[in-house]
Structure 1
Amino acid sequence: MIDGAVLVTGGAGYIGSHAVLALLDAGYRVVVVDNLVTGFAWAVDPRAMLVEANIEDDHAVRAAIRDHGVKAIMHFAGSVVVPESVSDPLKYYRNNTVATRALLESAVACGVPHFIFSSTAATYGTPTKIPVVETDPTVPINPYGMSKLMTEAMLRDTAAAHPINYCALRYFNVAGADPQGRSGQSTAGATHLIKVAVEAATGKRASVGVFGTDFDTPDGTGVRDYIHVSDLAAAHVAALDLLTADPAKSHTLNCGYGRGFSVLEVLDAVDRVTNVHIERKIEGRRAGDPAALVADNSAILKALDWRPQRDDLDLIVRDALAWERVLAERDA
């Protein structure tokens, strides 16, 4: 364990708040930097320190690093909606690439030795084969994926020039919620399929859009590798252990379970778990969506002291559904 605190950017958001929980549960001191534009202060566990600031605010970020003895950064802050990145690319290059450059500069200036980056399978674009391995071509087909790939390049160049190592974790589709009901996907208008589906099952939406039924997949709908958010958070803690074990080495790793489910299979699972039939609304493909994205996860299983604990689609759906009920009680 590092002798210092971990700074978590975007720690008031969906994945970041789960990483905060995993770090705290493992005994780390945690400082969260979040501008609360899409995150929620209540989502930050009270054991952590919350600094409300943009990651481009050098003064605030560097003060947080120095005041709390930060020795590692987990970077989740950014924009994540693929279709929006196509319609508003400059937002994504600012929020995901330019802002991360400022954060990296602060990390180097303050001598932070370890950096874990929230990357994405969208860096692969349309894969030439399934499952995808880390050495496969990275040819993003949307600005979201490109903004993340540009950040990976910055990390690689920064680590070559300064005493800092990194782990870029390429997420596949993140879903579910903390099994203890402490956090979950809370953003209004979220586009994650399982989130949207459980909202429909609980009456918050009238239907679920199925964007494209003509993909080259078994049932014509998009296939994705769904990973439980708590497993993903645990992978970040294990990645920190990996970085501290060999400060001279950096890593890029897929985060997924290694198997895919189609949109229709996911909706069938939600029907099954909730005993409610969700109305499917067939629509055209969305810009920037590949037919299938499934991880080859052999590298992460080899590199990290980590094994998935919630690799079950129905379980992921149940945890997401339980969180919807928590939100309903909160809003009542």
Structure 2
Amino acid sequence: MILVTGGLGMIGAHAADVLVDLGHDVVVTGHRSVELPSFLVGRVAVEALDVTDRSAFLALGDRYDVSDIVHLAGSVPGTDPVSFIRSDMTGLLNALDAARIWGVRRFAVASSIGVYSGRTEIPWHEELALPPAELPHLIVALKKAVEPITTHVLRGSGVQPILLRVGSTWGPLMAPESPFNFIPSYTGALLRGEQPPPLYADDGGDFCYAPDAGRAIALLTTAPSLRHDTYNVSSGRRYTNREVAQALEATAHGTRIELRHGRQRGPGTDPYLDIARLVEETGFAPEFDVARAVDHYVTWRTTNPR
């Protein structure tokens, strides 16, 4: 049985979906809601769990024979950064504690593309040293700390850590007005017949559709062997707003998205993740380019609120 904490969120649900397709039994956890997305109904076990509750977390081991943990549970910072860090770090430590006590094979945990902030080399690959740079978001600061904490806590335990440096992921189950990606809000506007704000045509960067991210994580969790503990998870390509606008216009017929010339921040190149290590060790290949991802997502949103 593979445990996916945060398995009702955007990335976790898609990872769970692929794990089931690969023939594994899966239990997913949710905190404030345990409503399954349609594509998981009847396919996984679901548990209500506050990951900050150590006793409740460890009690899962009494009900399930957990072989691997994919820890994706997390929260979004509010006005109190200390509360956010305390909550998410407590959840991580409880998950690590469970991994050691249960003696699982692998412990995969979400990191972020943002940990590379400050590197000028493009694309970003796992061999780059992480610089002491100002980080773009509190979540990224947490993720940067998660990596050494995870590897040190699991050292000598027999549990293999997998640090998932997840790229700019979006897709089904993402909050419709997420501040981290504009495509869900633009899709919603077009479906309502509204005109979204203009985009700078050449802005862009890393691009990963949620089903692809889920598949990559599932393959890393279940691979017979892995040679490293850190993997970039993304599509391995850069996108531009021009591509997204064209895909949205092709899917939502009769609509136009205004494109402004160039880049909002002036000349430069947007970074993206190199996924050669992921591809070589798991055989991963992304199924969705920009056009196919947008078409799939617009179809999803016609019958789903997020």
Q: TM-score, normalised by structure 1?
A: 0.79
Aligned equivalents of 1:135, 1:28: Cα separation in 2: 31
Using the alignment, how far apart are the partners of 1:63 and 1:236 within structure 2? 25
Q: CA deviation at 1:292?
A: 2.4
How many angstroms apart in 2 are the aligned matches of 1:20 and 1:302? 22
**C-alpha contact (below 8 Å) 1:97/1:148 kept by paired residues:** no
Out of 129, 138, 153, the position equivalent to 1:143 is 138
**Contact 1:127–1:293 (8 Å) recurs in 2:** no
Alignment partners' CA distance in 1, 2:194 and 2:127 = 40
Quickly say closer, same or farther: Cα 1:23–1:280, change in 2 above 3 A. same
Offset of residue 295 of structure 1: 1.0
Which whole-Å CA distance do the structure 2 matches of 1:205 and 1:154 have between them?
Answer: 46
Out of 178, 183, 188, the position equivalent to 1:199 is 188
SS state of the match for residue 46, structure 2?
Answer: strand
**8 Å CA contact 1:6, 1:72 repeated in 2:** yes
Does 1:168 find its partner at 2:145? Answer: no
Candidates 194, 208, 225, aligned match of 1:245:
225
Counterpart selection for 1:317 from 294, 297, 301: 294
Instruction: Give the 3 Å change call, closer, same or farther, for CA 126–194 of structure 1 in structure 2.
Output: farther
* Conservation of the 8 A alpha-carbon contact between 2:75 and 2:84: yes
AA of the residue aligned to 2:125: V
Q: Give the whole-Å Cα distance in 1 for the aligned partners of 2:155 and 2:31.
A: 30
Alpha carbon RMSD of aligned pairs, Å?
Answer: 2.9
User: Aligned pairs, how many?
Assistant: 296
Query: Which position in structure 1 is the counterpart of 2:206?
Result: 225
Q: Report how far residue 24 of structure 1 moved.
A: 1.3
Partner residue in 2 for 1:179: none
Where does 1:242-281 land on structure 2 (aligned, <5 Å)?
A: 242=223, 244-245=224-225, 250-275=228-253, 276-278=255-257
**Distance in 2 between residues matched to 1:204 and 1:164, nearest whole Å:** 51
Structure 1 residue runs without a partner (length 5+): 177-183
Contact kept in structure 2, 1:126 and 1:141, CA below 8 Å: no
Among candidates 175, 178, 183, match of residue 190 of structure 1: 178
Counterpart CA distance in 2 for 1:153 and 1:42 is 33
What's the counterpart of residue 93 of structure 1? 85
Shift of 1:206: 5.0
Q: CA-to-partner distance for each residue in 1:50-74, whole Å, 9 max, x for gaps?
A: 1111112222221212321001011
Aligned equivalent of 1:180: none
Asked whether the equivalents of residues 227 and 256 of structure 1 are also in contact (C-alpha less than 8 Å), the reply is yes
Once residues 68 and 230 of structure 2 are traced to their aligned partners in structure 1, the CA distance between those partners, rounded to angstroms, is: 17
Q: Which amino acid aligns with 1:322?
A: T
Residue 64 of structure 2: aligned partner? 68
State the shift of 1:266 in Å: 2.1
1:45 counterpart = 2:37: no
3-state secondary structure, aligned to 2:302: helix
1:235 aligns with 2:231: no
Of residues 14, 18, 24, the one that matches 1:22 is: 18
Q: 1:63 to 1:71 in 2, by over 3 A?
A: same
Deviation at 1:98, TM superposition (A): 3.2
State the Cα distance separating 1:268 from its structure 2 match: 3.4
Q: Structure 2-normalised TM-score?
A: 0.85
Residue 156 and residue 193 in structure 1: after superposition, are their counterparts in 2 closer, same or farther (change >3 A)?
same
Report which stretch shifted further, 119-128 or 67-76: 119-128
User: 3-state DSSP class of the match of 1:28?
Assistant: coil
Which structure 2 residue ranges, 5 or more long, are not aligned? Answer: none
CA separation of 1:95/1:200 partners in 2, compared to 1, >3 Å: closer, same or farther? farther
SS at match of 1:128: coil
The structural deviation recorded for 1:280 is 7.2
Residue by residue over 1:16-61, the C-alpha shift from the partner in whole angstroms, topping out at 9 and shown as x without a partner, is 111111111221111112103xx55132532211111111222222
Query: 1:90: how far off?
Result: 2.9
